[in-house]
Every structure is written in structure tokens, then in C-alpha cells.
Amino acid sequence: MAQLRLLAPGVQAPKWGRRPVAVLQVAALRTERQGSGVWAVTVAARLADAAVGVPGDESVRGLRFFTVPVTETGSGDGRAYAAGAPMEAAGPQAGREPASPYTARIEDSALADTVVGFLSAFLGAGGAVERYLAPGTVLARPEARFAQVETLQVLSQGRPGGAGQDGATARVHAAVTATDVAGRTWPMAYVLTLTARDGRWEIASLATGLAASAAPRS
């Protein structure tokens, strides 16, 4: 309660009565700036009944969403507090999937082989990563190591030139399934930029974030 008063001094605490609520998990989903030092923060809270035998129609179990007004304290140290009671809100709605720019199937087997070999090495299933990289390209490998990497699909933006054309570039989206040593499978996707040099394709960069999330429809 002391922590609640510190973070939300003017907010009334809920009263559970004989049916307390347990908060299993909380995560911030969206922050909207509404003025200088003022935000609306939407959080998802996974709730459960702390008491046993609660009827289904009276249960709070499940995922709920709340929007909280948050204001800076004005102390200049970046601290903020909940300026008012939360508002229960609807969950995020599914958006329309954007069209993927990766529509062309790879016809250059040398390009596909480079992508497959690089991702297998990058994820630890075998081989050295450096042999696939363009000069000056440095990519930090993930800590996890997988026993097997299966490349399911490689698509490109447009039709890339052949590897025999020095300076040719290709941007591809590769969907893979990586299997760890315990037999668990992890579906993943990578967006890679490749360049041609001396008759071979080399990895020039690996995209992250939104650039890598524009997955094509299968």
C-alpha cells in the first residue's frame, strides 16, 4: 500500500472484500503523449482469483486492459506518477496485415545457397559465419545455438541480378525453423541484404525491428 501511495498518491485503492484478486503479470502496451509531461499509458494485466471456488460468472480470471493517466512530478529527474484512476479499456484490435514487398521467388540458386548457409552458421547449426560476409560487415551472433536450421522460404524484392554482376544487390526475406538441442522448434524470419562480388553472393547487412517483420503471406 505504501508503494501504491508513492506511485499514485491520489488514486483510491480497490476493495476486494472476501474475493481478493491476484495480479499475475503486467505489461505496458502503448504510451500516448497528451501534452508536456503528460501521457496515457495502456497496460495489460493478467488477473486471477486469489480465492478458490469463485463462480465463473463472477471470476476476474483472464487478460484485462487499463489506461492510466501519467504525469511527470516536475522535479526534473524524470520521475512520474499515476495522476488519476485507471480506465478499463478494450484490448488492441487486430490490424490489417500490410502487403509484403517480398514477392519474387529466388531463381538464383547461388543466392539461395548463400542465404541458407549463412543462417545455418549464424544460428549455430554449423559452419563459420565469416565466409558468408561481405568485406567490412560484422554481425554479432545470438547466444543461443541450434542443432538444426531449416530454411522454409526465401523471397526477394524484385528480381535480383546474377552473382556474376559485381555490385549487384538483393534484399531477401527468409523464413526458417530452428530446432534446439532439446528438440524445440522456433519459427523465425530474417531480412538480409546481399551484394555480389567476384562471382559470389555475400551478406552485407541484416535488418532488425519493423524491417524484418514484414513477413510475406505463405
Which domain CATH number covers 188? 3.10.450.540
* Number of folded domains that form the chain: 2
End-to-end CA distance of the chain: 51
Instruction: Specify the pLDDT at position 206.
Output: 92
Could you tell me which residues are beta bridge partners of residue 170? 194
Report, in angstroms and rounded to the nearest whole number, the Rg of the chain calculated over CA atoms: 25
**Does residue 218 have a pLDDT over 50?**
no
Print the domain residue range for 53: 2-89
With cut-offs at 50, 70 and 90, classify the pLDDT of residue 98.
confident
Residue 121 lies in a domain: yes
| Least confident range of 66-70, 83-87, 124-128 | 124-128
Nearest to 215 by CA among 102, 118, 96, 106: 102
Q: Is residue 96 part of a domain?
A: no
Question: Do 109 and 201 fall into the same domain?
Answer: yes
Q: Are 194 and 202 in contact (CB under 8 A)?
A: yes
Residue 97: inside a domain:
no
Q: In this predicted model, what pLDDT tens digit does every residue of 3-58 receive, in sequence order?
A: 777 788 888 888 888 889 999 999 999 999 998 889 999 999 999 999 888 888 88
For residue 88, the surrounding DSSP H or E stretch is strand 87-89
